[in-house]
Amino acid sequence: MEMVVIYGAITLHENYLGSVEFIKSLGKDPMFPAISTLDFGLGDYDDYHYEGKLTYDYTWDNMIISYSNSTGAAIFDERNLRLYILKMEHILRNIDFVQAIIHIQSVESSENANLFWEKKQHRYFDKPDELKNELLIETDEWNFGFGRRSLPGYLEEPTDKIRHSLEAHPYPVLFSREIRQVFYNHIKELMREYETKGIPRTAFEKETRLPAFELRNIINYLQFKKTVIIEIEEDLEVVRVIKPDLLKMDCLYR
């Protein structure tokens, strides 16, 4: 299998301890594309704090954590890259970050993907012409951009290459509303049928209009968010809902 290396950096604003505790809570991600706690270099609290106080004025000397991992070339498939971005955005949503930059590079070919986020509260690019020039997409939470960039977010490659990435990987990445609705209607029926027991994976696949790949990715994402867990019971893979209050459409991207 072709090897792909992923590496990057995330700058933090103030809440180092809360951010690190959330990353530690990830544990080991068993499902592809995986993002696990051990992929992160979390730095040293004492490098940035003394007696509980930040030791710098927030400028360019902000706290930084690193990220690195290796995976297979299947990460470049649009559906797998979409799921990877959703997982990374779940992390960013729960830490006090300023900017995040991720490089995904094949070691055997020229195939690559580059991802950038800057949180809206701390963003550097806030004017329409800046967003347009740097090909950044503004959402309610952050600015996002494809392409090789400096950590502050400036493009370092021609814009025509970025437009190709946008065409191949539309953003924001979301499960379609129709697929979400079918999934949630189906899982609610299964929860009533199986009550507190784990729901067999085969039960999800039976009498549902969901494509198998989309079903897998939604369950994968919900497990990453620790809304469900996947277990083996009597040689059968089951899905156990552990946070039923969060199992609704308006909680999916929170």
| CATH, residue 222 | 1.10.10.10
Same domain, 99 and 219: no
| pLDDT band per the 50, 70, 90 thresholds, residue 2 | confident
**78 compared with 162, residue with greater pLDDT:** 78
Indicate the residue among 142, 168, 194 that finishes a domain: 168
CA separation for the pair 143, 118 (Å, rounded): 5
Same domain, 162 and 185: no
Query: Looking at residue 7, what is its pLDDT?
Result: 97
**168 compared with 149, residue with greater pLDDT:** 149
Query: Looking at residue 233, what is its pLDDT?
Result: 84
Same domain, 211 and 154: no
**16 compared with 6, residue with greater pLDDT:** 6
Same domain, 157 and 189: no
**141 compared with 209, residue with greater pLDDT:** 141
Same domain, 183 and 158: no
pTM over 0.85: yes
Give Cα separations from 13 to 88, 139, 166, 193, 204 (angstroms): 18, 20, 29, 46, 41
Tell me the average pLDDT of the chain: 90
Give Cα separations from 92 to 19, 53, 89, 117, 180 (angstroms): 9, 23, 5, 9, 22
Query: Looking at residue 61, what is its pLDDT?
Result: 60
Same domain, 64 and 12: yes
Picking from 112, 127, 116, the residue whose alpha carbon sits closest to that of residue 151 is: 116
Longest dimension (CA), the chain: 59
Same domain, 77 and 192: no
Same domain, 36 and 154: yes
**116 compared with 168, residue with greater pLDDT:** 116
**208 compared with 250, residue with greater pLDDT:** 250
Same domain, 83 and 112: yes
Same domain, 220 and 126: no
Indicate the residue among 121, 147, 168 that finishes a domain: 168
**202 compared with 29, residue with greater pLDDT:** 29
| pLDDT band per the 50, 70, 90 thresholds, residue 180 | very high
Same domain, 31 and 124: yes
- Which of 1-5, 7-11, 58-62 is least confident? 58-62
Same domain, 186 and 104: no
Mean pLDDT in residue range 69-95: 96
Q: Tell me the residue range of the domain where 228 lies.
A: 177-251
Question: What is the domain count for the chain?
Answer: 2
Residues 6+ apart with CB under 8 A from 240: 198, 199, 228, 229, 230, 231
CA separation for the pair 247, 180 (Å, rounded): 11
Indicate the residue among 168, 189, 213 that finishes a domain: 168
Picking from 95, 146, 101, 91, the residue whose alpha carbon sits closest to that of residue 121 is: 95
Mean pLDDT in residue range 230-254: 90
Residues 137-160 pLDDT 10s: 999 999 999 999 988 899 998 888
Residues 33-75 pLDDT 10s: 999 999 999 988 777 777 777 776 555 567 889 999 999 999 9
